Structure 1
């Protein structure tokens, strides 16, 4: 008779979930025993790093990925990173060990009390099997819920369940499939095409879901076909459109009034693959400019339901793009890519624009950049020239600690693409142990640490909030080259532009870290 563990391993293998990101405790060892040779276990030294790596991997591959964490304490350590995975809509299947069943009610050491509630409301679904026989079905549900919702799920399993033998009835779970389809009906497509076709001055706003679902090139085709100006929705975690394209207008600011101001003059605002909108700074004002109409197309029912304005169509944006391409006549005009402006310079250290221009000029055009340097975002968009899908990854909820781990995960998920992590010195400390994983698994990734000795974004917010004298915004004295070498990653510190460009032109088979002293700048 097959054991619960054997059935679980076989189900995961059939579904392609053979890469496991984890940091195990004692409760998890029975699940990991006898792991088939086809599985790859990627160890992270902190649970937040584990989830960050899995988030990057899931975004890079577009597929669910298995995460294995310890019970309450380990799962709790991962929750900060989980916030990013929720808003990037990454289908993480998180499993955690639970104490043996007789010990849970006693709240013995390492018991996960009310385990199904621990990850709420972050997890899209969470469960704990009522008995050992229900483990295979529960695991399947965790996988299918993650796929259907495009959101992390959480499954707690008592560790004495894994060795239990089950009858053949439990094996029916192995062959299950669940599919998702959100095709808009003919009436909706006809109405939308008429709205776009008759609009006086329409504008296209694209969100990260466009890139995440493989629609980057099709979104470009739609914008060019209709000659529509394109904005990226506020707080983007992915880049859905080439940022030097002649139709690109920029990233919308993350405040209510500024968004309305940028979109003024457009009578139709068509939003594809984004919430409306992910605001950050509270800048009150009208949600929409006078005389404008907003239509949102998203496959996320929650994003559609919670929007404060506009019309929403819950449907696959890809199907809508294809329908508009087929139904509306071409207005295509020749549009050249816009050249980058000269990089700003600084006296005491390199300006971030100089660093980004150096990356742009020395790295392959299809490099995937994982960025976690909030205070330099205006410099980033001025200097980078990103023309490929999956070129940009950013913490979707703003939770620090994403950059280093996600860069490792993206590089493992897409070994055919060069990967560079561009990380601020404040952010880097939250996920620093990802360097060990990068070294131990020889992951070919370049980490560029921008060192300015302060939490730049926090200083900027202090100015916005009228609190310029608060403590805790400076972090002097950090040497990431010594830290990296301690974890086994070769590292170099550079202070001159020519030296930076020279180092960036070299290649390596594994990870490397480049520390660059930069001038403090502020976000837009």
Structure 2
């Protein structure tokens, strides 16, 4: 009779979860014993970096990814990074070790008391099987729940379970498949199409779920068919529309009043693949202008249920866009010129570059299909002013705003897109939260470029201090950090560039491994 471990490995192999991101502890070793030859274990040096790498990898590949963490302590270290995965609806399957069953009740060292509750309500599903024979079934549920909900799941397994006999019925999980269809029925499709066609001044709001191959381009066709303005949903973590397209109006501000103001004069707002809405700054007001109707289309039933206004259709946005393109009259416009990029602002300081100069250099010197993982919050305005991103999968940002995603996320995206250039644009404040990911990049010789923007302060917090009337908050400056020396210590070649010309020359190079480019930049604000 096969062991629980053997059945689990076979199930994971059949489901394609053969890349394991982890940082092992003693409780995890029995699960990792005897991994089949086709498995790949990606070691991270801190659990937050492990989850960030897995998050980037899963977003890049579009598939669930297995994460292996250590009991309560390792799982706790990972929870900050998990908030980003939850907000980006990333299907991570987290399997954590647990003490042997007989030691959990007495709370022996490394026992995770009430392990499933530890991770709730953060993850979409969490459990610890009641007995060893239930581990294969519970592991299958963790995978299917992550895939169906598109949200991390968590399974705690006592380490003596892995060597136990799996039971006569355990092999039944190997042939299981769970699928979901999200096509609206005929009546739902007809009503939505009639509503969109009847709108005098419709507007589109697109979320991160639209940033997928095929749907990204179909969303452009739909916008051109409707000839309507397009916004990205607030708190953007993926770019769902070419940012220099003439119909693109930018990212909606993350406040109630300014969002409502943006919709003035529109009788219909169609929201595709986004919650309604992920506000940030507390700027109260009416949710919608008088006479404006909002319709949300999302696969996320929870997002549909919690929205404070409008109508919602829980369906696959791709199927809805395809339906609208078929039934709406008219042909999409073609050959529409993209908006030109303005000249970058300069810093006015010989020792520092304006972030726009850095982003202009990236735009001009990097290939057009480059994927950017950005974690420099104080430079958002400069970023969107200079970049020209026209392809799906071009932009990744920490979805919940939790710092530490950028460097690990860039490593994960580079692993998920081995044939696509990947650049991490990382602020010096955020780099420290996931710095250990550089070691993983070096070990795997990933062709990853990290552009480290060093301004010596938490720039976004300085901006927020002004908004909140707290100009004298302590702890906002971080002088004395040299990331070239830190990166070299992790095995990543590094360089400190001091001028725009030198930066362009360095970016034009195409190394076959990771590198870090440190650039001193002037302080800017997110808006």
TM-score, normalised on structure 1? 0.99
* Aligned twin of 1:489: 492
Change in CA separation of 1:213 and 1:132 when aligned onto 2, cut-off 3 Å: farther
Distance in 2 separating the partners of 1:113 and 1:167:
26
Distance in 1 separating the partners of 2:338 and 2:213:
24
Partners of 1:44 and 1:437 within 8 A in 2 = yes
Shift of 1:263: 1.6
Change in CA separation of 1:123 and 1:464 when aligned onto 2, cut-off 3 Å: same
Distance in 1 separating the partners of 2:281 and 2:498:
33
| Match runs of 1:298-309 below 5 Å | 298-309=298-309
* Aligned twin of 2:297: 297
* Aligned twin of 1:507: 510
Is 1:459 matched with 2:462?
yes
Shift of 1:213: 7.1
Partners of 1:62 and 1:213 within 8 A in 2 = no
What is the CA deviation profile of residues 331-386 of structure 1, one whole-angstrom value per residue up to 9, with x for unaligned ones? 53452101101100012210000000000000000000000011100100000000
* Aligned twin of 2:158: 158
* Aligned twin of 2:398: 395
Distance in 1 separating the partners of 2:126 and 2:169:
24
Instruction: Give unmatched runs, 5+ long, in structure 1.
Output: none
Distance in 2 separating the partners of 1:79 and 1:289:
38
* Aligned twin of 2:338: 337
Distance in 2 separating the partners of 1:333 and 1:139:
48
* Aligned twin of 2:210: 210
Shift of 1:479: 0.3
Distance in 2 separating the partners of 1:455 and 1:131:
48
* Aligned twin of 1:84: 84
Q: Which one is further off, 52-61 or 220-229?
A: 220-229
Shift of 1:523: 0.8
Shift of 1:167: 3.3
* Aligned twin of 1:50: 50
Partners of 1:44 and 1:433 within 8 A in 2 = yes
Shift of 1:182: 1.6
Distance in 2 separating the partners of 1:508 and 1:93:
33
What is the CA deviation profile of residues 8-33 of structure 1, one whole-angstrom value per residue up to 9, with x for unaligned ones? 10000000000000000000000000
Partners of 1:212 and 1:238 within 8 A in 2 = no
Distance in 1 separating the partners of 2:39 and 2:297:
38
* Aligned twin of 2:27: 27
Change in CA separation of 1:213 and 1:116 when aligned onto 2, cut-off 3 Å: farther
What is the DSSP-based 3-state SS (H/G/I as helix, E as strand, rest coil) of the residue aligned with 2:211? Answer: helix
Partners of 1:59 and 1:212 within 8 A in 2 = no
- Alignment: residue pair count: 524
* Aligned twin of 1:170: 170
Is 1:314 matched with 2:317?
no
Question: Aligned-residue CA RMSD in angstroms?
Answer: 0.9
* Aligned twin of 2:72: 72
Change in CA separation of 1:213 and 1:306 when aligned onto 2, cut-off 3 Å: farther
Shift of 1:212: 4.4
Shift of 1:148: 0.4
Shift of 1:165: 1.9
Q: Which one is further off, 431-440 or 329-338?
A: 329-338
What is the CA deviation profile of residues 41-83 of structure 1, one whole-angstrom value per residue up to 9, with x for unaligned ones? 0000000000000000000000000000000000000000000
Distance in 1 separating the partners of 2:261 and 2:360:
30
* Aligned twin of 1:384: 387
Distance in 2 separating the partners of 1:495 and 1:220:
39
* Aligned twin of 2:378: 375
What is the DSSP-based 3-state SS (H/G/I as helix, E as strand, rest coil) of the residue aligned with 1:431? Answer: coil
| Match runs of 1:93-104 below 5 Å | 93-104=93-104
* Aligned twin of 1:196: 196
TM-score, normalised on structure 2? 0.98
Partners of 1:238 and 1:394 within 8 A in 2 = yes
2:432 aligned to which of 422, 429, 439: 429
Partners of 1:234 and 1:279 within 8 A in 2 = yes
| Match runs of 1:401-480 below 5 Å | 401-480=404-483
Partners of 1:239 and 1:390 within 8 A in 2 = yes
* Aligned twin of 2:180: 180
Distance in 2 separating the partners of 1:361 and 1:28:
46
Q: Where do 4+ consecutive residues of structure 1 move more than 3 Å?
A: 331-334
Distance in 1 separating the partners of 2:255 and 2:496:
37
What is the CA deviation profile of residues 436-491 of structure 1, one whole-angstrom value per residue up to 9, with x for unaligned ones? 00001111110001000000000000000000001011001100000000000000
Distance in 1 separating the partners of 2:318 and 2:330:
18
Distance in 1 separating the partners of 2:60 and 2:2:
34
Distance in 1 separating the partners of 2:231 and 2:79:
31
Distance in 2 separating the partners of 1:486 and 1:478:
14
